Amino acid sequence: MQIIKKFNPLEDEMIQVMNEKGEIINPELMPDVSDEDILSLYKLMRRTRAMDTIALSLQRQGRMLTYAPNMGQEAAQVGSAYALKKTDWAVPAFRELGMWLMKGWSMEKILQYWYGNEWGSHTGEDLRLLPVSVPIASQFQHAVGIGMAARFKKEDDIIMAYVGDGGTSQGDFHEALNFAAVYKTPNVFVIQNNHYAISVPISKQTASKNLAVKALAYGMPGILVDGNDLFAMIAVSQQAADYAREHGPVLIEAFTFRLGAHTTSDDPTKYRTDEDVNPWKEKDPILRLERYLLNKGLLKEEEIEPMQEELEAEVMEAYRAIEHSSDTKVEEIFSYHYETMTPQLQEQLDEYQAFLKGAESNV
């Protein structure tokens, strides 16, 4: 079925393939994914959860720096990234752990980044993945620039960029969508609507009935999808990717929920209650897919715990490989902003080095 043409965000209709019991309720929308791939994606979502949980624990122990949890958003990330070819670009914000793993960024490198060593951002020459972008929505501008270059070079690649619901209030978001639509760039924009931009609920971000509808003002399709439904995310993302390659940009709103804190610097109990969170625990994307696999006989209950233990061991092995890696040198803060250091940065570096010499002479 042509999802892009059939569904209208003005009607506030959300695409769903699988319900919370793991039952296929819209078989006509079911993507063509083999049982083997579904099991592999389930394991990847569990790896994402294991890594997320352990990273959070390590940060609380003082063994990692500030961390942005992903719990509850695994299907939105893994399902969208499943639609990407190796040569396609992915442009993240800072909460796309499942996408990073799906795209091929190693656990060691991801953990190295959150450990505070910028070499974690060195993903390799053949991985078309931009680094973590903390400034809100600025990465959409970068994604459109890559899209314009792809069109200019006549490359058959798309650029999938991610942002949170709060990012839709930034000017960068709207400027990027406008440029993409005008120049018909091969961009797929994914909004992970997890209901909160730090402490600000979605009701304070927009008066629109949903976020997907914002696409229409710029002349591109907008699709609202159940972001906790892996199959719905795959179906929508695959069709959006095909559309972007041939016609131009698409906006996807993945309707999901952040079960944890915004970052480890955040206390979500100050702005939401258990009554807000508990209903979403039953909508957990991993639990939903697990029920599907159990119902289909593709997974057995007794296989789940050993799998989880194996994945947790993998994460800890990856962390131990980087735990005692050298810290980033202060000089590197100045060296890697530009290909050639600007006069202002050189002046600041000289000042810093003079300070060090003065400190050494006083010892």
Residue corresponding to tokens 């839709």: 168
Is residue 92 within 8 A of residue 100, CB to CB? The reply is: yes
- The whole-number pLDDT of residue 186 equals 98
Higher pLDDT, 328 or 63: 63
Count CB atoms within 10 A of the CB of residue 245. 17
Provide the percentage of residues in the chain whose pLDDT is more than 90. 88
On whether both 182 and 251 belong to a single domain, the answer is yes
> What CATH number is associated with residue 300?
3.40.50.970
Write the DSSP assignment of 258-303 as a string of letters: --S-SSTT--GGGT--HHHHHHHHTT-HHHHHHHHHHHHTSS-HHH
On whether both 215 and 362 belong to a single domain, the answer is no
Q: Of 262, 291, 292, 319, which residue is the catalytic one?
A: 262
- CA-nearest of 357, 293, 320, 335 to 37 is 293
On whether both 256 and 124 belong to a single domain, the answer is yes
On whether both 223 and 346 belong to a single domain, the answer is no
Q: Is 262 a catalytic residue?
A: yes
Instruction: Report in angstroms the alpha-carbon separations of 195 from 93, 112, 113, 201, 276.
Output: 16, 29, 26, 6, 10
The two tokens of residue 132 are: 């973590």
Q: Of 151, 174, 245, 271, which residue is the catalytic one?
A: 271
On whether both 154 and 279 belong to a single domain, the answer is yes
- The whole-number pLDDT of residue 328 equals 67
Q: Which segment, 117-121, 180-184, 356-360, is predicted with the most confidence on average?
A: 180-184
The two tokens of residue 196 are: 């909160």
Q: Is 271 a catalytic residue?
A: yes
Order of strands, edge to edge, in the sheet holding 222-226?
Answer: 89-91, 159-164, 187-193, 250-255, 222-226
On whether both 309 and 217 belong to a single domain, the answer is yes
The two tokens of residue 352 are: 């810093």
Is residue 20 within 8 A of residue 280, CB to CB? The reply is: no
Beta bridge partners, 189, equal 161, 251
145-203 per-position pLDDT tens digit: 999 999 999 999 999 999 999 999 999 999 999 999 999 999 999 999 999 999 999 99
On whether both 124 and 93 belong to a single domain, the answer is yes
The two tokens of residue 28 are: 């006509």
Query: Average pLDDT, stretch 311-334?
Result: 86
Q: Of 95, 258, 288, 291, which residue is the catalytic one?
A: 258
On whether both 315 and 355 belong to a single domain, the answer is no
On whether both 256 and 336 belong to a single domain, the answer is no
**Mean pLDDT value across the chain:** 95
237-257 per-position pLDDT tens digit: 999 999 999 999 999 999 999
Instruction: Report in angstroms the alpha-carbon separations of 62 from 65, 71, 116, 136, 152.
Output: 7, 20, 12, 26, 47
Query: Is 1's pLDDT higher than 70?
Result: no
Q: Give how many domains the chain has, as a whole number.
A: 2
198-241 per-position pLDDT tens digit: 999 999 999 999 999 999 999 999 999 999 999 999 999 999 99
On whether both 316 and 195 belong to a single domain, the answer is yes
On whether both 215 and 94 belong to a single domain, the answer is yes
- Host domain of residue 162: 3-328
CA distance 141 to 180: 9
CA distance 52 to 111: 10
On whether both 217 and 334 belong to a single domain, the answer is no
